[in-house]
Amino acid sequence: MDGVVNFFKPAGMTSHDAVHFFRKLLGIKKIGHTGTLDPMASGVLPVCIGKGTRIAEYLTDTRKEYIGELTLGSKTDTLDSTGTVLDSSEITVDESKINIVFSNYRGKIHQIPPMYSARKVDGKKLYELARQGLVMDRQSREIEIYEMEILNILENQRIIFRTKCSKGTYIRTICDDIGDALGTFGHMSFLMRTQAGGFLINDSLGIETLKDFNKDDLEKIITPLDKALSHLKAVELDGDRFDKLLNGLTSRVSSRHNDLPRFTPLRVYSGNKFVGIGILSGEGSDLSLKMEKVLAR
């Protein structure tokens, strides 16, 4: 059982709890997840099984889509509805101003990770320090908002929105920042991840569905390694060089692959069999491929 399960994580479950659930369900230890999803959030959490844990880094570095809710009028220490209210305001914000501020949250922006997050400072997770009442200096990071759309505005206080963003984006921080930009306070009151890379919420499997599967059935619902990596471009090597590639050796590549990107992870096939992930370098007749990760059996 090597691959990835498109798991629907329910609200209230931590990402670590999800891993524990699958370890107990399958009776194996080699399981991990891609991209932590807050306990209060629900939605798509790709869970890596067996050799799937070796491709987690390539799945984490993908676009995400969320449906969220921003509630105006109060700020919390966690920046979401699970935290303690720090400030509040009775200000009513005009709907046109809400639309203008949301429209500014597109493109590349710099974001400071919240204290209640799994990011580490000096080897310690920020949320562990936050629970001790500590506030640490955090460096801002560049993220990218590809899409930001308001779906509904309720009583000029609750804003339902959809966004597509890069990895490492904290929707809680966006909600807090928008509250400030509107001259009031705000926190995230709902979050559902609807897409992570090629994994869509409509195809996800919840706990109740999975409990009814046995191990043989689960093999049918695990996404194979190469399909899970479908967001990467593929290269099919001429001839049967499968054994050579299994040994991680560098292989010459036909110049017809010159249009593929260099120094970027690619799915590698030989003899119509998936070998793993490789990197192209060189030009023309000097084009070569070196295996980065061999994933075939």
CA distances from 224 to 6, 64, 219, 252, 271 (A): 11, 21, 9, 27, 18
pTM over cut 0.75: yes
Instruction: Give the highest mean pLDDT range of 90-99, 137-146, 255-264, 286-295.
Output: 90-99
How far, in Å, CA of 243 to CA of 282, rounded? Answer: 23
- By annotation, the residues acting in catalysis are 38
Structure confidence by residue, pLDDT tens digits, 57-111: 999 888 999 999 999 999 999 999 999 999 999 999 999 999 999 999 999 999 9
How large is the average pLDDT for residues 113-134?
Answer: 77
Q: Are strands 186-196 and 42-49 parallel, antiparallel or unpaired?
A: parallel
pLDDT for residue 43: 97
DSSP assigned state of 80: B
DSSP assigned state of 92: P
Residue 239's pLDDT band (cuts 50, 70, 90): low
